[in-house]
Amino acid sequence: MATHPVIFTTKTPYALPSQKFLIPIQWKRYQLSQLINKALSLPNPIPFDFLVRGSDILRGSLGEWTTANGVGEEDTLEIEYFESILPPQRMSTLPHEDWVSSISSQIPQHLLTASYDGHIRLFDYSQAVVADIPTHAAAITSICSIPPVSSPNSSESDLDSEDRQTFTIASASHDLTARLTKISLPLSSHSQKATFQSLATLHLHTLPLSSITADSTGTHLLTASWDGLVGFWDTQVPDQDDGIPASLLGNGEDASSQPKKKRRVAADITGETKLRRKAPLTVFKSHTNRVSKALFGAENGSGNGKAYSCGFDSTVRTWDVEMGVCVDTITASKKPFLDLALTPDARTALAASTDRTVTIYDLRASSLTTSAGALQHPTTVSCIALPTSAHAPSPSATAKAANLDADPGIANHDATISQNQFVTGAYDGIARVWDLRSMRAAVAVCRVWEGKKKILSVDWARGGAGSGTNGMVSVGGEGGVEIWRVG
């Protein structure tokens, strides 16, 4: 039986002693996984995948890989193994009457959705609607949960006087505004219902907004719009209205001068008769067409560091947040970009475009126009998400919320999620999980609305109870919302 010399490495807790193995060349992933499990005498079998020479996940036999890559019989292969992603499973469906354009799992044990009907909805893990908030007069395009701002009394900063935990939600809409909304949740399922309050409207853009994102400190926001502008904002609610040009208020009118009927409709939508109006701190101007996404870099603090944006002008731009200027530009050829994501270390950008690809850019490269590869899809890719953890509540909130009702199948599911993995959603109704270490094919597929309805938003949550991880992919689109277990 022909064999090949192999050295195994891993970044998991399941490490083999450093030694060379002679592996039969007809062995595939299953036999290699069995070898690891038996060598370590693991009490419960763990399936592993194998990355050959840091570039390809093994999908056939070892002999097939060496032949295809011209590797000689005596050349030692270094193979890294890591825990496999098990086939995704559909967990639940959350029907919506209109398209779901944005979805977020950043509020612990809850799912936040935004819809074309202008409503924000909050679901708990028992699939109950905790809050249904009429927020905008037109379709909402993007939402995010703003991380709690740390303070000297941070352990109690997210609790109000009635033992309720509060979160601030930022939303962007086709109505040309963004909005800040506070949601107050009871810390016990037997308490009174959730409440909400509209805090402020953000005025800058003259065309529909496409995205809104918060930085990791919860102090600043970025908005992106079809007007080619990126707005940089703080998250404080002003005591008085900021100075807003009349042209940006109510189709060129101040709210006080609008007809009574219009003012009444506006009040019905927000549930408020008076909202504070905010102006941006800075406006980033460089894009020559609509901006699809703007987000902060991982190193961003309180307004310092870098931000990134992509747009229909086929560029991905890097911004100096403090100076408000574009410092680098990735220019692609006829690739209008629809979405943008960064790896946790902010060294790699993932840009989805209308040419049915997700292009990978090394932000450290001297030539930013050169891509590190592209992931091919059969249809347009609309959205990208990397695994994230929910915003951590305060210790006191965690203790008081211990009795929150939740579906154990969702809340306590543990999975191992690699920092190299991400999920994409496409117009063919399929969400695909990818691994940056091997870009030839997706490592897992969620056939959400295959060939029937478009996916418009995805989010990948981890941070479940127990091991600190959770493999839950939430998908929003023309078919409402579906939640899948991945891992």
- Strand ranges inside 107-193, DSSP E: 110-115, 119-124, 129-134, 140-146, 164-173, 177-186
- Strand ranges inside 11-44, DSSP E: 20-24
Please report which confidence band the pLDDT of residue 312 belongs to, taking 50, 70 and 90 as the band edges: very high
Please report which confidence band the pLDDT of residue 325 belongs to, taking 50, 70 and 90 as the band edges: very high
Look at residue 136 in the predicted model and tell me its pLDDT.
Answer: 96
| 3-state percent breakdown (helix, strand, coil) of the chain, nearest 5 | 10, 45, 45
Distance (Å) of CA 36 to CA 57, 80, 81, 103: 16, 11, 9, 38
- 325 CB contacts (<8 Å, ≥6 apart)? 284, 319
The full DSSP string for 220-270 is EEEEEETTSEEEEEE-PPPSS-----GGGSTTTS-GGGS-HHHHHHHHHHH
Mean pLDDT value across residues 134-153: 84
Q: Could you give the 3-state DSSP secondary structure of residue 435? A: strand
52-61, 219-228, 320-329, 386-395 — which is least confidently predicted? 386-395
User: Which letter does DSSP use for residue 343 in this model?
Assistant: -
Mean pLDDT value across residues 243-266: 49
Look at residue 399 in the predicted model and tell me its pLDDT.
Answer: 39
The answer, yes or no, to whether residue 475 has pLDDT greater than 90, is: yes
The answer, yes or no, to whether residue 123 has pLDDT greater than 50, is: yes
Predicted confidence (pLDDT) per residue in 166-180, tens digit = 999 999 999 999 999
Please report which confidence band the pLDDT of residue 465 belongs to, taking 50, 70 and 90 as the band edges: very low
Residue with the larger pLDDT of the pair 265 and 186:
186
Mean pLDDT value across residues 129-148: 94
Q: What are phi and psi of 402, to 5 degrees?
A: -65, -20
Look at residue 254 in the predicted model and tell me its pLDDT.
Answer: 39
Mean pLDDT value across residues 244-260: 51
- Strand ranges inside 242-367, DSSP E: 276-278, 282-285, 291-296, 306-311, 315-320, 325-331, 337-342, 348-353, 357-362
Beta pairing partners, 460: 387, 473
Q: For residue 322, how many other CB atoms are within 10 A of its CB?
A: 12
200-204, 256-260, 293-297 — which is least confidently predicted? 256-260
Contacts 24+ apart (CB under 8 A), 444-450: 444/85, 444/86, 444/87, 444/88, 444/486, 445/88, 446/88, 446/90, 446/473, 446/475, 446/482, 446/484, 446/486, 448/475, 448/477, 448/479, 448/482, 448/484, 449/477, 449/478, 449/479, 449/482
The answer to whether the CB of 332 falls within 8 A of the CB of 340 is no
Please report which confidence band the pLDDT of residue 189 belongs to, taking 50, 70 and 90 as the band edges: low
Tokens standing for residue 461: 């949550």
* Percentage with pLDDT > 70 across the chain: 80
Q: What are phi and psi of 189, to 5 degrees?
A: -65, -15
Q: Could you give the 3-state DSSP secondary structure of residue 38? A: helix
Residue with the larger pLDDT of the pair 211 and 252:
211
The answer, yes or no, to whether residue 285 has pLDDT greater than 90, is: yes
Mean pLDDT value across residues 64-83: 90
Mean pLDDT value across residues 9-14: 89
Distance between CA atoms of 172 and 114, rounded to whole angstroms?
10
The answer to whether the CB of 165 falls within 8 A of the CB of 397 is yes
Look at residue 160 in the predicted model and tell me its pLDDT.
Answer: 53
The answer, yes or no, to whether residue 400 has pLDDT greater than 90, is: no
The answer, yes or no, to whether residue 56 has pLDDT greater than 70, is: yes
Look at residue 191 in the predicted model and tell me its pLDDT.
Answer: 54
Look at residue 102 in the predicted model and tell me its pLDDT.
Answer: 97
Mean pLDDT value across residues 448-458: 95
Distance between CA atoms of 263 and 268, rounded to whole angstroms?
9
Look at residue 263 in the predicted model and tell me its pLDDT.
Answer: 37
Mean pLDDT value across residues 216-237: 95
Look at residue 292 in the predicted model and tell me its pLDDT.
Answer: 98
Distance between CA atoms of 410 and 130, rounded to whole angstroms?
17
The answer, yes or no, to whether residue 132 has pLDDT greater than 90, is: yes
Beta pairing partners, 232: 222, 282
Mean pLDDT value across residues 28-48: 93
Total residue count of the chain as it appears in this document: 487
- 259 CB contacts (<8 Å, ≥6 apart)? none
Mean pLDDT value across residues 332-358: 92
The answer, yes or no, to whether residue 227 has pLDDT greater than 60, is: yes
> What's the pTM value of the predicted model, to 2 decimals?
0.82
Look at residue 253 in the predicted model and tell me its pLDDT.
Answer: 37
What's the gap between Cα 367 and its chain centre? 27
The answer, yes or no, to whether residue 296 has pLDDT greater than 70, is: yes
Look at residue 154 in the predicted model and tell me its pLDDT.
Answer: 41
Look at residue 137 in the predicted model and tell me its pLDDT.
Answer: 95
Q: What is the residue-averaged pLDDT of the chain?
A: 83
| Amino acid making up residue 472 | M
Look at residue 383 in the predicted model and tell me its pLDDT.
Answer: 97
* CA dihedral of 474, 210, 344, 232, whole degrees rounded to 10: -140
